[in-house]
Chain A
Amino acid sequence: AQKITQTQPGMFVQEKEAVTLDCTYDTSDQSYGLFWYKQPSSGEMIFLIYQGSYDEQNATEGRYSLNFQKARKSANLVISASQLGDSAMYFCAMRERTAGGTSYGKLTFGQGTILTVHP
């Protein structure tokens, strides 16, 4: 089964409007971390926001917020007041503990969502 699922290959939004990018995850661990990265057309991977599984508040970073619904295993990224520069590929990722449960292991990435912001 996919660890990270991003069901929206592409999304469109009007400039200045809000948009939600979906991410669902699969884990049996109680302690894990969820991340969102942005990849503009230039190719670099830019860290946006992090949510810990034990965090009671939804994470926020400027215009980015993470709508974390633990019971539903979803970690959707909300971008408010979209800007033309937000047009990019967005990746959701998760870190779980290693098999021994003593440390945190690798990141697993979803396949990404391409966001296009229209003027």
Chain B
Amino acid sequence: DADVTQTPRNRITKTGKRIMLECSQTKGHDRMYWYRQDPGLGLRLIYYSFDVKDINKGEISDGYSVSRQAQAKFSLSLESAIPNQTALYFCATSDPTQGAGETQYFGPGTRLLVL
């Protein structure tokens, strides 16, 4: 079974709808992240959480919110979806005890299309 899972894997929604993307991990990592990927722009950080009580905005948090329900679960919500939020969304986890070598492990991604 995959260590980092994301649901749904694909989602089509309409402008103005609220949607939630979910991420679960079995790696036991404290840190979790949400990224979006747009063609030609690489990965951009939306939100990150260094533990259950520590949630921080990334570089592109406007229009998004998150919830860290437990160490293993980190959800991303689009409050009112708009077409330019169409992208590939990744969840990732990492173990801070690795220091500079702290590697992020990614989920399989969620492809979101906002019409």
What class of interface size applies to chain B in its complex with A? Answer: 20 to 34
Query: A53–B105 Cα gap in the complex (Å)?
Result: 21
Q: Is A104 an interface residue (CB 8 A)?
A: yes
Q: B11: shortest Cβ distance to chain A, in Å? A: 14
Q: Are B103 and A91 in contact (CB under 8 A)?
A: no
In-complex Cβ contact of A104 among B48, B96, B106 (8 A)? B96
| Residues of chain B contacted by A37 (CB below 8 angstroms) | 106
Instruction: Pick from B15-23, B37-45, B68-76, B77-85 the stretch touching chain A.
Output: B37-45
Q: What sequence of 0s and 1s flags, for each residue 25-51 of chain B, a beta carbon within 8 Å of any chain A beta carbon?
A: 000000001000000111101001000
Query: A35–B100 Cα gap in the complex (Å)?
Result: 10
| Residues of chain B contacted by A25 (CB below 8 angstroms) | none
Given A106-B33, A106-B45, A112-B42, A45–B106 Cβ distance below 8 Å?
Answer: yes
By the criterion of a CB under 8 Å from any partner CB, how many residues of chain A are at the interface? Answer: 23
Query: A95–B95 Cα gap in the complex (Å)?
Result: 13
Q: Are A47 and B104 in contact (CB under 8 A)?
A: yes
Q: Which of A46-91 contact B (CB under 8 A)?
A: 46-47, 50, 52-53, 91
Query: A47–B33 Cα gap in the complex (Å)?
Result: 15
Q: Are B101 and A50 in contact (CB under 8 A)?
A: yes
Q: What sequence of 0s and 1s flags, for each residue 88-110 of chain A, a beta carbon within 8 Å of any chain B beta carbon?
A: 00010001000000011011011
Q: Is A119 an interface residue (CB 8 A)?
A: no
| Residues of chain A contacted by B102 (CB below 8 angstroms) | 33, 95, 104
Query: A46–B106 Cα gap in the complex (Å)?
Result: 7
Given A45-B106, A47-B105, A106-B58, A95–B100 Cβ distance below 8 Å?
Answer: yes
Q: Are A45 and B90 in contact (CB under 8 A)?
A: yes
Q: Are A32 and B100 in contact (CB under 8 A)?
A: yes
In-complex Cβ contact of B109 among A44, A91, A110 (8 A)? A44
Q: Is A8 an interface residue (CB 8 A)?
A: no
| Residues of chain B contacted by A106 (CB below 8 angstroms) | 33, 45, 48, 58
Query: A109–B111 Cα gap in the complex (Å)?
Result: 20
Binding site for A on B (CB under 8 A): 33, 40-43, 45, 48, 58, 88, 90, 92, 96, 99-109, 111
